[in-house]
Chain A
Amino acid sequence: MPHFERLYNFACWLTHDRQEAEDLVQETYVKALKGFSSFQPGTNFRAWIYKILRNAFLTSRTGLKATSIVQLDLEGQEEALPTVTQTPESILVQRSDGRLVQKALEQLPVPYREVLLLCEVEEMSYQEISVTLAIPIGTVMSRLSRARKALRGGLQQQFAERVN
């Protein structure tokens, strides 16, 4: 089963629930096999199957709930990222505290979490992410930038809580 482990990992991150993730992965493969005629040879298979999983998630009860409560100015004016040198989160990152990064990832809204996971964990190109999320490449770039900023904010907050 191509991409099985990674699809499951991605599904867990979306749903935060192993049982729901299993249902989602199962639904994805069933839909992929049933609708294989819609796949165009020569296009990206990985983006195609991730897109099926994501669409299944968005129409699930958890997906609808997660996306309905998120009101983000996702595609607004791009802000310049601050210069990053020795910051609390870079210290944390250097200490390789994976749990804190996991917690910060968990707390991100779904649109930020998914774009970061597709880029950093799945190592998809912007083009693949664009196909998977059905958004323009420019939007991929701005959303990634904001997601990274939000993650750094989350890490800083955790760092402050640890210090206090």
Chain B
Amino acid sequence: MVCESWKAKLDTYLDGEVSGDEMRSFDAHVRTCPSCSADALTRVQMKRSIQAAGRRYTPSAEFRKRMQQKIVSRPRRSFGLGWTFAAAAAAIIVVGTLTSVYLGTRSGKDQVFSEIADLHVETLASSSPVDVISTDRHTVKPWFQGKIPFAFNLPELQNTGFSLLGGRMTYLDQTPGAHLIYDAGKHHISVFVFQERSLPARLDKDPVSPKQLTFNMETWTQGGLRYFVIGDASAANIDSLAKLFKAAS
């Protein structure tokens, strides 16, 4: 009979919408009740399936560009209306700057680099930048299993000055890939990993000038995978993190 009252609230509990005390009581009960724990497991699996199935559509690069151009061309007269808009406007300005760079040097390679910078900025502007929140590479790596069509290694970070914040799935030119976010002091650094053969442009020749992107970036190919490390951290930090990845792969 007790279980029935728990079960009635099971979804609310799994949605994280019960109070702290109730959450602790639920935790204790679920650990000791096989019926409720089986029920909770099925519902968690269902939640995960809906989440995976629901992340289905990705905007085309062409639509993204069209939108960036449209927004940047609008008069920006509402600065100072609050921090959120400031954040939104800042993101729009950065995207706008990148779009201008893109328009000035229209090529497949630059487009890829601009897209990478966009993904980095857009993710940091999000209220939930990562989908798997963990500092443990042994948690983050398996999370990508079944979500992206390749595997890759994450470096050990002990005593390196970097810390892993988590990861998320991402898309570049409709190609699925991994996006990892690291902290280096107060700077966030994104690491993107894609299959090289799926990317639209050859990126090895004439590496991008950091000044063009306003970020520091490093990119290389290893084992058929294309890596991008990008952030507003110093070039030395970007290089160090890139070396750690190269050593781990």
Contact = CB atoms under 8 A, between A and B. Distances in A.
Interface of A: 1-5, 8-9, 12-13, 18, 21-22, 25-26, 29-30, 33, 36-37, 39, 41-42, 45-46, 80-81, 83-87, 89-90, 93-94, 96, 98-99, 101-102, 105, 116-117, 119-121, 123, 125-126, 141, 144-145, 148, 151-152
Report, nearest first, the 9 A-B pairs whose CB atoms are least far apart.
Answer: A41-B82, A121-B54, A12-B57, A101-B53, A120-B50, A8-B59, A90-B42, A102-B53, A45-B84
A40 B71 CA distance: 21
Contacts of B55: 9, 121
Interface of B: 4, 7-8, 11-12, 15-17, 35, 38-39, 42-43, 45-47, 49-59, 63-64, 67-68, 70-71, 74, 78, 81-85, 87-88, 91-92, 95, 122, 125-128, 146, 171
B71 A36 contact: no
Contacts of B56: 9, 12-13, 102
B83 A41 contact: yes
Contacts of B45: 90, 93-94
A65 B122 CA distance: 33
Contacts of B35: 83, 85
Contact of A117 (B54, B81, B85, B125): B54
A127 B78 CA distance: 28
7 contacts: A9-B55, A21-B57, A26-B67, A81-B11, A101-B53, A125-B17, A148-B46
A90 B83 CA distance: 44
Given A2-B122, A83-B35, A120-B50, 11 more contacts: A1-B122, A9-B57, A26-B70, A29-B70, A33-B74, A37-B78, A94-B45, A98-B52, A105-B50, A120-B47, A151-B46
A90 B56 CA distance: 21
A72 to B, nearest CB: 19
Given A12-B57, A148-B11, A121 B50 contact: yes
B9 to A, nearest CB: 10
Contacts of B78: 33, 36-37
B177 to A, nearest CB: 13
Contacts of B49: 93, 96, 98, 101
A13 B45 CA distance: 21
A13 B91 contact: no
B126 A8 contact: no
A115 B84 CA distance: 25
Contacts of A96: 49, 52, 146
Nearest to B59: A8
A84 B82 CA distance: 47
Contact of B8 (A2, A9, A80, A84): A80
Contact of A22 (B15, B43, B59): B59
Given A80-B8, A83-B35, A2 B57 contact: no
A84 B50 CA distance: 17
B89 to A, nearest CB: 9
A41 B42 contact: no
Given A21-B57, A41-B81, A1 B51 contact: no
B79 to A, nearest CB: 10
B17 A126 contact: yes
A145 B15 CA distance: 11
A119 B15 contact: yes
B58 A9 contact: yes
Contacts of B42: 84-87, 90, 93
A86 B35 CA distance: 11
A109 B50 CA distance: 16
Contacts of A80: 4, 8
A25 B66 CA distance: 12
B119 to A, nearest CB: 9
